[in-house]
Amino acid sequence: MTMNLLEDWCCGMDVDIHRCLLVTGIPEDCGQAEIEETLNGVLCPLGLYLVLNKIFLREENAKAVLIENPGN
């Protein structure tokens, strides 16, 4: 399911799947600031990245975030 979600999301947003990362399992009560703070700590070595979108996954009772590394 996760790979399908990544493929569908990238296709729908017209972004390169090879430059994107899907983060799932984010607790429902986790706010935007907490998500960004956590991602900054983990993704800092990747350089610049953009949070493109987030959704709630009912089946997992959690949020998912689509991230793009725009490259140079």
List per-residue pLDDT tens for the chain, 72 residues long: 789 999 999 999 999 999 999 999 999 999 989 998 999 989 988 889 999 999 999 999 999 999 999 875
Q: How far apart are CA 48 and CA 20, in angstroms?
A: 12
14 Rama sector, left if φ>0, alpha if ψ -120 to 50, beta otherwise? left
Predicted confidence at residue 72, as pLDDT, reads 56
Token pair belonging to 17: 């799947």
Phi, psi dihedral angles at 52 (to 5 degrees)? -80, -35
Predicted confidence at residue 46, as pLDDT, reads 82
Predicted confidence at residue 2, as pLDDT, reads 83
